[in-house]
């Protein structure tokens, strides 16, 4: 039974560390780009858009669709970077613990 108690203690510590990591994600900011850097979107670690920066030369009232596509592409780039950051931080937290295929953290 000593091992079960130790496992429960480790599980509680890991849960605490996961909650701590999730709270820190709000402070992380990642910028995605598109249009050779003419559109920049900054999101936090929770995927919330915090800032958008547009090069003036890309703003054409006659061709709004291109700008819309570039904003989406920049956001998707930033989102992919955030997901990579979260995966790396989770891997550090887990200390090499292997999860079953398809299981993702944080839950």
Query: Tell me: the pLDDT tens digits for 15-44?
Result: 888 888 888 888 899 999 999 999 999 999
On whether the pTM is more than 0.75, the answer is: no
User: Two tokens at 92?
Assistant: 């550090």
User: Two tokens at 63?
Assistant: 């061709």
The CATH code of domain 28-97 reads 3.30.1310.10
- Identify whether the C-beta of residue 90 lies closer than 8 Å to the C-beta of residue 107: no
pLDDT category of residue 105 using cuts at 50, 70 and 90: low
- Identify whether the C-beta of residue 70 lies closer than 8 Å to the C-beta of residue 58: yes
| Burial bucket for residue 81 (CB in 10 Å: 0-12, 13-18, 19+) | middle
51 DSSP 8-state letter: E
């Amino acid at each position: 039974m000593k091992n079960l108690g130790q496992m429960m203690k480790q599980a509680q510590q890991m849960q605490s560390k996961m909650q701590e990591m999730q709270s820190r994600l709000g402070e992380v900011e990642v910028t995605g780009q598109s249009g050779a850097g003419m559109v920049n979107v900054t999101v936090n670690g929770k995927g919330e858009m915090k800032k958008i920066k547009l090069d003036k030369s890309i703003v054409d009232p006659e061709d709004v669709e291109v700008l819309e596509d570039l904003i989406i592409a920049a956001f998707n780039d930033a989102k992919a970077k955030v997901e990579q950051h979260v995966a790396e931080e989770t891997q550090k937290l887990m200390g090499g613990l292997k999860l079953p295929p398809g299981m993702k953290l944080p839950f």
